[in-house]
Amino acid sequence: MKKFLIAGLFVALLLAGVASSFASGSPDGLDYAAREGCTFNADDEITGGTCMAQQEQEHQLGDSPLADYGIKGIDNEYLSTGLSGVAGVLLTFAIGGGLFWVLRRRRPVS
């Protein structure tokens, strides 16, 4: 069981660290739907039309260290994206493992 968990964590870290650099930079489905109905200029600014994207505001955590799928302060885009993916996998694994450990230690109610 331990080898399986280590292998799974390794694969997840490899995918997050390496494969995330090859993700598409094109808007995803939600971005596409939010932009539908508006017209944009060459700088990707809304110039007309009506769409949900016109109501867009800056996110409260937009200045956080892991905002925008990268790590603040790292100029290399591929390294920044890969490291943020690795950090996300490690954080998720730590939270999930901690919850599993806490729940496993509980005694059954008789």
> Is 0.75 surpassed by the pTM of this model?
no
In this predicted structure, what is the pLDDT of residue 1?
A: 80
In this predicted structure, what is the pLDDT of residue 27?
A: 67
Which phi-psi region, left, alpha or beta, contains residue 37 (left: φ > 0; alpha: ψ -120 to 50)? left
In this predicted structure, what is the pLDDT of residue 71?
A: 87
Cα–Cα nearest to 13, from 84, 75, 74, 65:
84
Distance CA(72)–CA(66), nearest Å, equals 6
pLDDT digits 0-9 by tens, 59-92? 888 788 877 778 888 888 889 889 989 999 999 9
H or E segment to which residue 49 belongs = strand 46-49
In this predicted structure, what is the pLDDT of residue 96?
A: 94
User: Residue 38, SS3?
Assistant: strand
In this predicted structure, what is the pLDDT of residue 51?
A: 92
39 beta partners? 48
Average pLDDT over residues 35-57: 90
H or E segment to which residue 40 belongs = strand 38-40
